[in-house]
Chains A and B, each alone.
Chain A
Amino acid sequence: MERISVFSGIGAPLRRSNVDTDQIIPAVYLKRITKTGFEDGLFAHWRNDEDFVLNQAPYKNAQILIAGSDFGTGSSREHAVWALRDYGFRAVFSSKFADIFRGNSGKQGLIAGVISESDTELLWQAMEANPGMELQVDLPAQEVRFSDTVVPFEIDEYTKWRLMEGLDDIGITLQNEAAIAAYEARRESWRPTTLPAKGV
C-alpha cells in the first residue's frame, strides 16, 4: 500500500447521514471474484439520479468525501471500502463512523477521519459555494485545509501509523519475517505437507 502523508484533491459534499453499506454498494455488486473494479457499484442507486453529487461535473474526480454522521453502518462488507477506493476516494470525513467500516478503511489505505458536526457543515458550505474546490489533507497534522481555514480531524494512533507507513495487515505481519522463518526452521518434520501430492 502507498504511504500517505499530505495530499490535495477535490472535495465532494455528501449531504446525507446514516449512509449504510448497502447504499455505498448494493448487494448485487458483491458477486465479483476480484478485489478491485467496484467503482461502478459505488452509491449505485443514487447515481441513477442525475442530481446526485457525484454526477455533477465538478465532483466527478473527487478524492475526498465529506459525509453526514453515521457513515458506513449496516452490513460489514469490505466491498464498501473497496468501492470508495476504486472510485478514487482517498479520504472520507464524517462526525461518526460505524466501527467496522472504520476498521476496514484503515486496512485498505482509506482515511476515515472524524470531524465535528459544525466543521462538516462548514466544509459543505465552502464546497457548495465553490464547487470543485480542492481540499488539502494533512495526515501527520490531522488537518483538512482550504484557503485559510483549518479543520482538525481525529484518527486513532495505530491506524494513522499504518496509513503513514503504507502497511496492510499482511505487511505488518511480514515485519516479523525473521520470527516466522525461525519458527519454520524448528517445525517438526512429521508435520504434513500437501506437496508432493500423495493419494492421487
Chain B
Amino acid sequence: MSEPLTLAEKLWNDHVVVKGENGAPDLLYIDLHLIHEVTSPQAFDGLRLANRDVRRKDLTIATEDHNTPTIDIHLPIAEPTSRTQVQALRDNTKEFGVRIHSLGDKNQGIVHVVGPQLGLTMPGLTIVCGDSHTSTHGAFGALAMGIGTSEVEHVLATQTLPLKPFKTMAINVEGTLRPGVTAKDIILAVIAKISTGGGQGYVLEYRGSAIRALSMEGRMTICNMSIEAGARAGMVAPDEITFEYLKGRPHAPEGAEWDKAMEYWKTLKTDDDAKFDAEVFIDANTLDPFVTWGTNPGQGVSLLDSVPDPASMTDPAERAAAERALEYMDLQPGTKMKDIAVNTVFLGSCTNARIEDLRAAASIIQGRKKAEGVRMMVVPGSQKVRLQAEEEGLDKIFKEFGAEWRFAGCSMCLGMNPDQLGPGERAASTSNRNFEGRQGKGARTHLVSPLVAAATAIRGTLSSPSDVGL
C-alpha cells in the first residue's frame, strides 16, 4: 500500500515534472493558464525581449475584466491606463496566437467565472492566473493558484512553474445550514475564526456534510476567499455535483474521454487515514448570516451581533487593528450590525456573481421596493451569466426594483474601472475584500452574501433575509 495522501498532495505529485533536490522547488506542470489585462502586459513583453514564444497556446486563454466598463461598452475605454492595458492584451494575444474573449463577446467576463463556464476548469488540473482569486477554481478539485507577473511569463514560456511545497489544512464544516445562510456566510465565519493570516503556507481542503451539500457556485464562493485567509489555494474534492455541473459544457470531455476522466476523478479525494498538518471545525447548524464590520475579511461577526469593542480584545495587535478599522469605518462599538445604514449595494465579483447568486438575490427582491436613497448595482460575472439572467427574466426583476443592470466585469469589486464608491460612502458588497479604499478612496465596505445584499437593499440597513420575511 502506498502512503495515504491528501487530495492536494495527490494533485501535486501528479504534476511534478522535475523533483527539486536539496531544498530546490519542484517543477510542476500547469494544465490551464488564465490571463487578463492587468498582470500580463509585462509578461508578454518579457517573451518578446527574450525572443520566446508561448509554449502552449492551447492551454492558455485570456479575457478582459479588471478594467472594463460595465455601461456603454461600445464606446472606447475612457481611462487611459485601462485603455492601454486592454489594448495591450488584445495586441499581445493576437501576436502570440492566444485565444481571447473581449468586451462584447459572450464569453467575456471575470476570468474566474469564464473558466468554469466554458468547462475548462475541471477536477485534477493545475490552474494558474495572475490574480489571487484563482483559488476559486479549486472548487472543482483542481490545484489553482494566483501568481505574479514574472511567473505569468514563466508559465507562458515553459508551461511549468517551480513551486515550494505547502502544508495542508482541513476545514471541516458539518451540519445543515439554516434558511437564509449560504456559502458566503460559511467562508466569512471560517476567516473570522482562523484570521486573515491563519491559512498562510497552507492549501485548504473544505470538507464535511455542509460542503458536500453545496452547489458548485457555493463551493466556488468558498474557495474564492481562501486567499483572504492567507492560503495558497483552497479546494473541494469532486463528486456527483461537480460531474453534473461539468457534463455537456463546451470543453468538457465527451464519450470515451469522459469515461477515462471519470476514472481518474473518482480517485481525487483525501485518503481515509491521510494526515492534515492542521484541522479546523465549523458547526454549520448554528451559523447565522455573517457580515464584516472592519477593513479586512477576518473582521466579521454574525449579523445578529453588534460591532465589537476593541477594548475587549486581548491581543494588542488585534486591538490596534480593530481601533483603526472602526475609525476608518466610522463605527461605534456596540452598534447593532442591523442598524448600520448603507448608500450602495453591490451584487457582483468573482465571489458572488454567478447565475445562482443572481437568482438568489432576485428571489428576495421580487415584488418589493428598494429603500429610498440606496443605490443597487448588479454586475453579472460574465456576459453569458448576463444573457442567461435575461433569458430567465431576472434583469426585469432587478430593474423594476430600481437596481442598475450592468455588463460583466470586476467593476466595483476593486474600482479599477469607473464603478467606484465616493469618500465616506458605505456599501454592502458581495465581493471579497473590504480593504481601505478598495472600492474607492475613503469608501467603506461590508462584505455580505447575495441574500443579505438583497435584504439590505430593501431595508437600507444591513439586513438578513428573515428580516424581509424569508
Footprint of B on A, CB under 8 Å?
Answer: 1, 31-36, 78, 107, 168-170, 173-174, 176, 179-180, 183-184, 187-195, 197-200
B120 within 8 A of A: yes
Asked if B99 contacts A191 (CB within 8 A), the reply is no
Asked if A173 contacts B118 (CB within 8 A), the reply is no
B85 interface neighbour in A33, A173, A176, A179, Cβ under 8 Å: A33
Chain A residue at minimum C-beta to C-beta distance from B17: A183
**A-B contacts besides A169-B150, A199-B119, A200-B106, 15 pairs, CB < 8 Å:** A35-B45, A78-B149, A174-B157, A176-B18, A176-B27, A179-B17, A180-B17, A180-B160, A184-B29, A190-B257, A191-B124, A192-B120, A192-B251, A198-B251, A199-B107
- B395-445 residues with Cβ-Cβ distance < 8 A to A are none
Shortest Cβ distance from B249 into chain A, in angstroms? 7
Shortest Cβ distance from A73 into chain B, in angstroms? 19
Where chain A touches its partner, the secondary structure class is loop
Q: How many residues of B contact A (CB 8 A)?
A: 51
30 contacts between A and B (CB under 8 A): A1-B50, A33-B84, A35-B45, A35-B49, A107-B150, A169-B162, A170-B153, A170-B154, A170-B157, A173-B158, A173-B162, A176-B18, A184-B159, A187-B29, A188-B261, A190-B257, A190-B260, A191-B31, A192-B125, A194-B59, A194-B60, A194-B61, A195-B99, A197-B99, A198-B118, A198-B251, A199-B119, A199-B250, A199-B251, A200-B106
Asked if A36 contacts B159 (CB within 8 A), the reply is no
Cβ of B251: which chain A residues have Cβ within 8 Å of it? 192-194, 198-199
Asked if A173 contacts B154 (CB within 8 A), the reply is yes
Asked if A170 contacts B29 (CB within 8 A), the reply is no
Knowing A170-B157, A179-B18, A191-B125 are in contact, say whether A33-B118 is a contact too (CB < 8 A). Answer: no
Cβ of A78: which chain B residues have Cβ within 8 Å of it? 149-150
Chain B residue at minimum C-beta to C-beta distance from A193: B58
Cβ of A32: which chain B residues have Cβ within 8 Å of it? 42
CB-based A-B contact count at 8 angstroms? 108
Shortest Cβ distance from A7 into chain B, in angstroms? 21
- B76-91 residues with Cβ-Cβ distance < 8 A to A are 81, 84-85, 88
Asked if B57 contacts A34 (CB within 8 A), the reply is no
Shortest Cβ distance from B157 into chain A, in angstroms? 5
A199 to B360, CA, bound (A): 26
Cβ of A191: which chain B residues have Cβ within 8 Å of it? 31, 124-125
Cβ of A31: which chain B residues have Cβ within 8 Å of it? 81
A183 to B158, CA, bound (A): 12
A200 to B250, CA, bound (A): 9
A190 to B123, CA, bound (A): 11
Knowing A192-B251, A193-B59, A198-B250 are in contact, say whether A35-B42 is a contact too (CB < 8 A). Answer: yes
A36 to B157, CA, bound (A): 18
Chain B residue at minimum C-beta to C-beta distance from A200: B107
Asked if A176 contacts B17 (CB within 8 A), the reply is yes
Chain A residue at minimum C-beta to C-beta distance from B252: A192
A184 to B159, CA, bound (A): 10
Asked if A33 contacts B41 (CB within 8 A), the reply is yes
